[in-house]
Structure 1
Amino acid sequence: MNLLQAIDPIAFSLGPLEVRWYGVIIAFGIILAFIVAQREMVKRGFHPEYLTDLLIWAVPLAIVGARIYYVIFKWDFYSQNPEKIIQIWNGGIAIHGALIASFLTAYFFTKKRGTSFWKVTDVVAPSLLIGQAVGRWGNFMNQEAHGGEVTRTFLENLMLPNWIIEQMYIDGKYYHPTFLYESVWNFIGVIILISLRKVNLRRGEIFLLYIIWYSVGRFFIEGMRTDSLYLIGDLRTAQVVSLLGIIIALSLIVYRRITVKPVVHYLDK
């Protein structure tokens, strides 16, 4: 067995400033997601600067939302250490908080611009999964968001390259690469959602199916993780939110199919 040294989470330094791989990867995910969404936005008739204007608001508010969400569910700690609430550089953000903040930002932004919330979110839904899939590799670089203990043989049977296996070797033990499970699940979702554009579903349904797809995967993968936020007792917050997301999205699909007239489809102008 040839053990490799764990990957340094610091990508590079600029004087006293250390730039972490986590931030570099998150930034790359945002850029890649933007490029994919931007092409589709223009095809769907939006002004070329529309998405940029939206992201100027959505990205910083998503970071704030991700932090607020995390702090709320770690309030026992932060209530005793309030000075650490703003210390986001020490870790502690949650993707569900980022998504909730992003959805709210998009809702009010589209209202102000007089455009369809459903049309915009349908277009960007695959890109959300792209950003999430890429972003999980930031967790990999930090050796976090992993699952329970496994054997090296288990990881080798997954046909993983050695550099992934060794990065999952933490404090003398190997762990489930749950970051990888979620990343793969999200990339599959990207392919499915982009393919559904050709099916020409009703407006809003690609976005709602995004919520369902991500939530199903997150529910099961969250059950494997060792760093979950908890609501009450052993009730994992992310699993509860995922279940609510599935229920709400399914209910909206049914409700809108019954009540929304006239019917507008994805490819309609």
Structure 2
Amino acid sequence: MTLLNIQPLDRVFLQLGPITIYWYGVIIGTGVLLGLWLATRESERLGLSKETFVDLVLYAVPIAILCARIYYVLFQWDYYSQHISEIPKIWHGGLAIHGGLIGAIVTTVVFARKRGLSFWKLVDIAAPSIILGQAIGRWGNFMNQEAHGGPVTRSFLESLYLPDWIINQMYINGQYYHPTFLYESLWNIVGFILLLLLRKANLRRGELFLSYVIWYSIGRFFIEGLRTDSLMLTETLRMAQFISIVLIISAIAIWTFRRVRGLANERYKD
């Protein structure tokens, strides 16, 4: 096969007359459903109603997607102000995870207060589901050939022992690129396993979620430095790296504050 014959994978999952279903949406939806299944099982084990996370997801997911899109569009306003019709087309990509997390967390705070539940208990249960959903969701970026890093050679990609179908998908407009979607997906899978192990350690309430925030943010900081499509805070500062630093510092500060003030006496399994 010559380079000129390399064709990207079809972004369309299914065509039903005028309705087009994209792999991007299917993959994101799969991550959400698998995460919901895991969270529901764990919440029942810890004494919550099995409907708790179903109800939460019905609110949190649409709001998270909306916030993820708004976040992305705001930082790409120079483009979207000239292409208004593109704003609702999330199947073209362009969902910022940090925006989605902000929307989901705010929704969970309100939900917990309305239901008389512990916010920290809910997010502790959800943490492994969130990072697993992120690991799966990155493959939507793969299908869209987005969220990649800088130029590399084919021999470099082959040295990573990647299958040809991944290497070929990283061939975009005549150039191979770093599969940063894969780096982050693998980092998140390791984080998912780590969080499952930390469940057994019976950390204090809130600390499992804070562990997720720290783990994800460390990986995102370094991987973001390889990407070519970063949302920029300034001409030289990547927004995701700045947010990652803020989240790491904030998570450590909250962890310390809650322990010092005696706000984290309950354990995960309590």
For this structure pair, what is the TM-score category when the shorter chain's length is used for normalisation? Answer: over 0.9
1:259 aligns to 2:261 (yes or no): yes
User: Take 1:80 and 1:6, find their aligned partners in 2: how far apart are those partners?
Assistant: 28
TM-score (norm 2): 0.95
- 1:88 Cα offset (Å): 3.2
Deviation per residue, 1:90-148 (Å, 9 max, x gap): 43221110111001100110011000000010001000001000000001111111000
1:236, distance to aligned residue in structure 2 (A) = 0.5
Residue 137 in structure 1 maps to residue 124 in structure 2:
no
2:87 equivalent in structure 1: 85
CA distance in 2, matches of 1:53, 1:225: 36
**Separation in 1 of the partners of 2:110 and 2:34?**
24
Figure out how many residues of one structure are paired with residues of the other and give that number. Answer: 268
User: Aligned partners of 2:264 and 2:212: how far apart in 1?
Assistant: 23
- 1:87 deviation in Å? 3.8
Q: Partner residue of 2:13? A: 11
CA gap of 1:175–1:81, structure 2 versus 1, over 3 A, is closer
Amino acid in structure 1 at the alignment position of 2:180:
T
Q: Does 1:235 align with 2:240?
A: no
The offset of 1:240, in angstroms, is 0.6
Cα 1:171/1:84, change in 2 over 3 Å: closer
Closer, same or farther: CA 140–87 of 1 in aligned 2, 3 Å:
closer
Name the SS of the counterpart of 1:224 in structure 2: coil
Conserved in 1, the CA contact under 8 Å of 2:22 and 2:91? no
Partner of 1:70: 72
For 1:75 and 1:188, locate their aligned partners in 2 and report how far apart those are by CA, in whole Å.
35
TM-score, normalising length from structure 1?
Answer: 0.96
Give 2:149's aligned residue.
Answer: 147
Cα gap change, 1:48/1:80 in structure 2, threshold over 3 Å: closer, same or farther? same
Structure 2: which amino acid aligns with 1:8?
Answer: D
Query: 1:107 is matched with which residue: 102, 106, 109?
Result: 109
- Secondary structure (helix, strand or coil) at the match of 2:21 reads strand
Alpha-carbon distance in structure 2 between the residues aligned to 1:175 and 1:189:
25
The one of 120, 124, 127 equivalent to 1:125 is: 127
**Runs of 4+ with deviation above 2 angstroms:** 1-5, 75-92
CA RMSD between the two structures: 1.4
SS state of the match for residue 14, structure 2? strand
Q: How far, CA to CA, are the matches of 1:39 and 1:86 in structure 2?
A: 34
Q: What corresponds to 1:202 in structure 2?
A: 204
Which of 168, 172, 177 matches 1:175? 177
Aligned residue among 23, 47, 50 for 2:49: 47
Runs (5+) with no aligned partner, structure 2 = none
> Structure 1 residues 2, 41: CA separation in 2 closer, same or farther (over 3 Å shift)?
farther
2:134 equivalent to 1:96: no
1:56 alignment counterpart: 58
What code does the residue aligned with 1:22 have? Y
The Cα shift of 1:89 comes to 4.1
What is the rounded CA distance, in whole Å, between the counterparts of 1:177 and 1:92 in structure 2? Answer: 17
Query: Take 2:186 and 2:87, find their aligned partners in 1: how far apart are those partners?
Result: 32
Give distance in 1, aligned partners of 2:108 and 2:178. 35
Q: CA deviation at 1:73?
A: 1.2
Structure 1 vs Structure 2: percent identity of aligned residues?
57
